[in-house]
Chain A
Amino acid sequence: MLGNNRQALQIIRISIPFFSETGSGAVAGQKYFFPEHPEIDNKTVVGIELHCGGVGGVTGQPDSTDSKLIQIRPSQVRNIYFVFKNEINEHLFENVPALSLYTKNVAAGNDFKQSIQPYFGKIKTRACYAYFPANTGFTLPDSYLNLTFYLR
């Protein structure tokens, strides 16, 4: 079936830095662009998955922890959106809620993975970005957001 992650020939994970220049945390309304990645640009995306860090409990259940890099937690991800564009800067997937790409069930003690969303198309990584809306009171310390792209 097209668009299903089972057809992926290659799986690439990227880290998107949510940093400000002052080191005082990410800024609401700011676009945080993806790092350019030719492997993703040159292939067709057949699925996208998000990963979260953290320690569980009120922050939500992580699926990928890192002792060096601070990763975004499930409880923070619910404020974030993605915009994916193609090679001619058309919007392919607009304002995708980040938590909809997180496939781990966040209920503590009830661990299982959900199906990966079968987003399908060719994207241009350096034109894609993540953001969280302004005027919400939500703050985010400098951290990384990890996305896995299923490619073929």
Chain B
Amino acid sequence: MPTLGADMESGTLLEWRVKPGDAVKRGDIVAVVDTSKAEIEVEIFEDGVIDELLVSEGTRVPVGTVLATLRTGAADGAPAPSPAPAPPSPAPAPPPEPAVTPPVAAPQRAPEERRLRVSPVARRAAEQLGVDLAAVAGSGPDGAITKADIERAAGAPTPAAAPAAEPGERAGAMRLAIGALMARSKREIPHYYLQTQIDMSRALAWLQEENLRRSVADRLLPSALLLSAVARAVAAMPAMNGFWVDGAFRAAGGVHLGVAISLRGGGLIAPALHDADRKSLDELMSGLRDLVTRARAGRLRSSEMSDPTITVTNLGEQGAELVHGVIYPPQVALVGFGGIRERPWAADGMIGARPVVIATLAADHRASDGHAGSRLLKLIDNRLQEPQEL
């Protein structure tokens, strides 16, 4: 069972898309898993032949459970049963973790693997309040978890306390999951916040011109420009793109923008637009449309759920003017955009009305400082002044 988000502890195998003997290749969808947030299509990351399905449909299992075994054709003819579990790492994994564990799972799994220091009263309180000890930061001697830590954590119910995500309870379960993750973020991550106003007149003028040449179906939205600008700026600022894991920052291999998408039934989800810095505006636009459609249909893929390297939240045309976001652990930064509004703008000694967006950055002070954060916002601004380059 892959981790389909840092807040996931277990998932229900809804459906197998393969059966023993089926040949599969990397990227094929082999199963559908229900997290408390959505139904996710699980991709396989190795070529081979499905050997055995170990978990039956409808079963809820903890993250890390082997779902199936896969025979890889690599060996000489004889199809030796490979211990390689399927689905293996859905992320382009930096290797020290076992194959089933994507890097985003590391901060949660690490404490489980060594013995947690939990005081007796805290352990009992955790049982009573349904708090997951692995998600609690200890403040006692030698980092031991104390009763007070449990009571703080209980303020935001954790995934362990979440009911199984029956369809009717999906929204409630999602609220619990979001609550637990955001509480953890605010508890553990020393956020700092920066904001800047960006003149969007050039970008929007270019967009208007560009859209005139396009069919209605192919028109670009300002969101695509914003996402592209962020992706390209982040590519130049690796310190903002990655994960805080085991007390250290680990830069990510690519720029996978987590795009916050609000769901119609309430709640939100932030699947990844992979390698966004290398995608054209058209690719970003279609990728975004696809993600939104599938997110709202509850049909996201495992890799999209597990490996965003930085999140972008865009309140859109009708949104509030700015957003101070909460970082999605173990990421270290979140870029927010308010609605694009006409505002008084002074330039060259003149005041005029221009379309302006307020870009904000919430960043993890353990991983970066305001100087770097400020530079990231400046780079985003620069990119948006040269829309033709996006």
Is the A/B pair a real complex? no
Instruction: List chain A positions with a Cβ less than 8 A from chain B.
Output: none
By a beta-carbon cutoff of 8 Å, the part of chain B in contact with chain A is none
